[in-house]
Chain A
C-alpha cells in the first residue's frame, strides 16, 4: 500500500507539489481516510435550525457511523451514535423529525430525547447478572460535539482539539454567512441529493477551483448573455450574481480574487464583487452596513467558496449553497445540498435566491452537472498511471505568500497562506492545504 509520501510529492522549497493518481482510486487509502479523517476528527453535521425545538432531531453519517442529533426536552442539542446498545440497530430512521422518545423497533429498548435509556423490555424477568448494569444502557454520546453560530460539528473520536481551535480563523468566514441576519441563517425547505462515480476529493477540490469556470461552464455563461440580450420578462427570475462580477472572466489584470488557507485544511476561494441588486441580500444593504460595517458588508457580496475540511462547503457565488460531502466508496460520492439564506428575508428576495440556486446548482441545473460529469472523467482517467503524477497543483506556486493579504486585512482575517491575483492566476496551491492536512491526519495510519 502506498504511504503518504508516495502519494504527495511536497517539495515547496523546490517549487514542486504533485499528487499521485492513486490518491483517488486506491481502495485501501479510502478505508484509511474513513478511519483517520471522517471517523478520526471533526466533521460538519448540520445546522442547529434542523432541530430547532425540543425533541426535534436529524440523522447524518459520520464516515460510516450513523449519528442522531437531537434537542432534548431541556433545549440542549446533543449528538449520539444512532445505534441501540442492545443489538446495534439504528433507532432513528428518518432524515429528520420530532420524537419525545425512540423505541428500538427490534427489541423495544426505549430512549428519551436526551439519549437516556428509559426502558429495557422485561428487564425484571431477564435473569441478568448484577454486572449487566455496569455498562451504561444509554445511547453512546458523540465523543466530541459542538456548534458555532448554528453550524453543528461532531466527532466519533475524542482525540480532537476544541472546536473553536479547530475552526480557527476560518470561523470568521462562517460569520460572514451567519451575520447576514440578526436571526442567523436557515435552510430553504427541500434538499437535493445526488451521487457521482468519483472520489470525494474531486468535489473537495472543485469548490476551490477558479480555473475550471470558463472551461466547464461556457453554456451557463453564454446563457446569461443570451438572457441579457433578450431582456425577456420570463427570464428575469434568472439574473445571476455572476453577471456583475468579473473575477472569473480572465479579462482583468487587477487583483480580482484569490485564495486563503487556514490550519486544519480549511480554505477559501474568493472573487471580488460589489453590492448589486441581483444579489438577494441587496435589500438589506443599509442594515448590513450598520450591523457589520462596510468592509464585512462588501465581503458578503464577494464570491466566496468556503471549505471546512473535510466535508462542509458553503458556496456563495451564482447563488448560495450549503453542501455536505459523503464519501460512499473510493469511486462513489453522495452530495447532500441545500439552498441557504438569512432568516427574515423578504419573500421576493427569497424567491430570487431559490431561482438563482436551481438555475446553477442541482443535478438538474445548468452548471453542476458539467462539473460532476468532469469528476467522473477524472476518475476514469486516474486509472492511467503511466505518468502517475498529476500536474494540477502548481498554478500560483511562484507567487506563494505567507500570512495576511490586504483584502483579508479589511476584515481582520488572518489566513496562514494567501494568494491574490488577477482573473487568470487561478491559484491551485490552495489544494495543497487540503493535502497537507490530509497527510497530517493520515500519518497515524502508517506509524501505528
Chain B
C-alpha cells in the first residue's frame, strides 16, 4: 500500500487494491477541500476525460457526451487547468469569495483491476458552505474513476461525476463536485 505523496503514490502495486484506491480518492478530495488545485491537477493524465452528465428525465442521466448535454464534459486536462485559472483569476464574480467545501467519499469498490489500470466506484457527499450568502448545500452522487499507471504513478485517466441532486442552487464549480 502506498503513501500519499504529491499527486501520485510511491510503493504502488501493479494491481490497485481498495486501500490504494481509497488513498487516492481521499488525497484528491483533500486537495480540493484545501484548494491545492495544482496538486489536484497533477493527479490527472494529460488526456483525462472529466464528465458530469446531465439528466434526460427523473431516472436517466445522459450517456453520450457527443450527442447529449452534460453539465461539464472535458477531454484533456488543459480544460481543468482553465477552470482553475478562472477560479484564481480574480475576474469571476461567482468565484470571488470561494465556498468552503468538504468532500466525503465512501462505499469504495474496485470494479476492475488490471495490470496498470483500474476502475474505482464510490459515493460522495460534498458539503458546501457559501460565506457570501450564508447558505449551505450538499451535493451528492457517485464517482467513477479510471486510473492508469504512468511513470510509477497512478493518474486519473477518466472521472465521471453522476450528480443525483441536479437542481443546482446557483453555482456548481469543479471544486464543489
Contact = CB atoms under 8 A, between A and B. Distances in A.
B170 A372 contact: yes
Contacts of B93: 216, 370, 373-374
A191 B82 contact: no
A186 to B, nearest CB: 11
Interface string B73-97: 1011111001101100101111100
A192 B167 CA distance: 7
A97 B166 CA distance: 19
Contact of A222 (B68, B91, B135, B167): B91
A275 to B, nearest CB: 24
Interface in A276-334: 334
Contacts of A376: 133, 170
Contacts of A227: 82
B177 to A, nearest CB: 8
Nearest to A337: B69
B92 A370 contact: yes
Contacts of B166: 192-193
Contacts, number: 142
B66 interface: yes
Contacts of A189: 56, 62, 67-69
A376 B135 CA distance: 12
Contacts of A364: 52, 71-72, 168, 171-174, 177
Interface stretch (A112-120, A143-151, A355-363, A396-404): A355-363
A369 B67 contact: no
Interface in A203-223: 216, 218-220, 222-223
A249 interface: no
Contacts of A234: 47, 75-79
Contacts of A188: 67-69
A237 interface: yes
Interface in B40-71: 47, 52-58, 62, 65-71
Contacts of B95: 219, 369
A350 interface: yes
Interface string A335-353: 0001100000001001100
Nearest to A355: B73
B169 to A, nearest CB: 6
Interface residues of A, number: 50
A95 B57 contact: yes
Contacts of B62: 189-190
Contacts of B170: 194-197, 363, 369, 372-373, 376
Interface string B154-168: 000000000000111
Given A357-B69, A364-B173, A334 B133 contact: no
A194 B167 contact: yes
B71 A192 contact: yes
Nearest to A336: B167
A94 interface: yes
B73 A366 contact: no
Interface residues of B, number: 46
A237 B72 CA distance: 13
Contacts of B86: 219-220, 223, 366
B58 A94 contact: yes
A408 interface: no
Interface string A172-192: 000000000000000011111
A421 B55 CA distance: 41
A193 B53 CA distance: 13
A370 B67 contact: no
Contacts of B83: 366
Contact of A363 (B75, B135, B168): B168
Contacts of A370: 92-94
B41 to A, nearest CB: 13
A363 B76 contact: no
Given A94-B58, A190-B56, A364-B172, A197 B76 contact: no
Contact of B71 (A218, A232, A334, A362): A362
B48 to A, nearest CB: 10
Nearest to B69: A190
Contacts of A338: 69
10 contacts: A94-B58, A191-B56, A193-B167, A195-B167, A230-B78, A358-B70, A358-B72, A364-B172, A364-B174, A373-B94
Interface of A: 94-97, 188-197, 216, 218-220, 222-223, 226-227, 230, 232-235, 237-238, 334, 338-339, 347, 350-351, 354-355, 357-358, 362-366, 369-370, 372-374, 376
Nearest first, the 8 A-B pairs at minimum CB distance are A234-B76, A190-B69, A369-B94, A190-B54, A219-B91, A190-B62, A219-B92, A363-B168
Given A188-B68, A218-B91, A223-B82, 4 more contacts: A197-B135, A364-B52, A366-B83, A369-B170
